[in-house]
Amino acid sequence: MMRIAINGMGRIGRLLFRRLIDNKDVELVAVNDLMQSDNLAYLLKYDSVYGTFAGNISHQPAGIEANGKLVKAFQQPDPALLPWKDLQVDVVLECSGSFSSRAGAEQHIKAGARKVLLSTTGSADIPLLVYGFNQHVLTPGETIISPGGCMTNCSTHILYILNAIGIKSVQCNILHSYTSRQELVDAPHKQFRRGRTAAESIIPVEIDLAHSLERLLPVLKDKIASVSTRVPVANGAMADFTIQLKEETTRQEINKLFATAAANEYKGIIEYTEDPLVSLDIKGNTHSCVIDGTLTSVVGNHVKIIAWFDNEYGFTTRMIDLLGIM
């Protein structure tokens, strides 16, 4: 059984804890975060997005006990000093956001872990593997890998499928719930807009999505522009793609393309729907993207695609999928 540790118990780390604690294929042996473990136990039990933990969870002197299983808890700021060797950790889920470079992630290897799976895109020298697209290139010798981010996992499949027709250019706007990298009240921030009150405004923010997509789809280099617009909801996202294709098409042809993909080779990765969804309907959805066929529009060779995704639940599903092939 694969032995797992989680470094960084923010939104993604805590959701992974909840989902892995009863996973029969892995054993969650330890977590590390600067917060005190009694506070961590509280945040694991009570979650404002996904509700109360459906089981028993409590703080113990040695860590967190969940459903009768004890998970050791540490508050070590230096990953190289964590007892991963003694605990025989196979994979560290690096969810802190602070060690996403190769040098940073390698601190877990130095501490005795065999491999590291980031929860973000990471630096350019770390293999970028989007599940359902290129996970097959993973080799046993890779010790550090990146699953991309929630926006990358949504976008890659959509653009790859449409490039079968031929893409001339892409403008992408991800309407995304606010995150911990924004502010509760107005405050200083190096990106001025991120410093504005997150729950009171629609806030455009800079993202590196275009760069990640060009790494995965080199044929689209210099053809992609992207922005994320943060909106005052706690969970969920809607991706708005405006794409200029090389050929004229129809709304029916585009919807059939995605409906067929969702029912066949992309089953479990892409979902297709014609239900009139809103963002709350997507909470807990495990797909990387949900194509909303009711919002597809086409004018000549200009296509608009709307896709929903749960930026936390869908993304952690892909991380768990990658654990399965590691």
Q: Please give the positions annotated as active site.
A: 150
Amino acid at residue number 251: R
Q: Quick one: DSSP state of residue 197?
A: B
**What is the SS3 assignment for 150?**
helix
Q: In terms of C-beta distances under 8 Å and separation of at least 24 residues, what long-range contacts does 179-185 make, across chains too? A: 179/11, 179/230, 180/10, 180/11, 182/230
Burial of 87 (0-12, 13-18, 19+ CB in 10 A): middle
Looking at residue 207, the DSSP 8-state letter turns out to be: -
Q: End-to-end alpha-carbon separation of the chain, Å?
A: 12
Whole-angstrom distance, CA of residue 85 vs CA of residue 83? 6
Separation of alpha carbons 115 and 124, rounded Å: 18
R_g (Cα) of the chain, nearest Å: 20
Question: What is the 3-state secondary structure of 94-128?
Answer: ECCCCCCCHHHHHHHHHCCCCEEEECCCCCCCCCE
E-assigned strand segments in 152-223: 167-177, 203-205
